């Protein structure tokens, strides 16, 4: 059986990478944020995906980047209830 793409789960890998990159760039001071590129990342990230799925990926990325922060608080920041905690 042939796998789709390079890894068999390319879309997942790219989604996780884009979400992590966007959250990391958002941590920069506003004057250092590459806003045009960030807009492109947002468009790429959301292409063909449900908005709630994108929000969940972003919250999970922030949890990975900041493991010392309370995950439930991060989820709430992204408008996600306790059902995903």
Give the tens place of pLDDT for each residue, 22-81: 999 999 999 999 999 999 999 999 999 999 999 999 999 999 999 999 999 999 999 998
In a domain, 30, yes or no: yes
Host domain of residue 36: 10-84
- Give domain status of residue 14, yes or no: yes
Q: 19: number of CA atoms within 13 Å, CB side?
A: 24
Number of domains in the chain: 1
pLDDT given for residue 6 in this prediction: 92
Write out the E strands in 1-85: none
Question: What b/e string do you get for 23-53 counting C-beta neighbours within 10 Å, with b at 16 or more?
Answer: beeeeeeeeeeeeeeeeebeeebbeeeeeee
Is 4 a domain residue? no
**Is residue 59, in this structure, part of any structural domain at all?**
yes
The model's confidence at residue 82, banded by pLDDT at 50, 70 and 90, is low
What predicted TM-score, i.e. pTM, was given to this entire model? 0.86
Residue 32 DSSP label: G
pLDDT at residue number 1? 53
Does residue 5 belong to any structural domain of this protein? no
pLDDT at residue 85 above 60?
no
Mean pLDDT of the region 5-20: 94
């Amino acid at each position: 059986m042939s796998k789709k793409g390079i890894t068999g789960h390319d879309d997942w890998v790219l989604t996780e990478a884009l979400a992590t990159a966007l959250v990391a760039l958002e941590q920069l001071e506003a004057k250092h944020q590459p806003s045009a590129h960030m807009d492109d990342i947002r468009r790429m990230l959301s292409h063909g995906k449900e908005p709630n799925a994108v929000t969940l990926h972003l919250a999970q990325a922030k949890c990975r980047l900041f493991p010392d922060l309370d995950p439930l608080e991060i989820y709430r920041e992204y408008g996600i209830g306790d059902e995903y905690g």
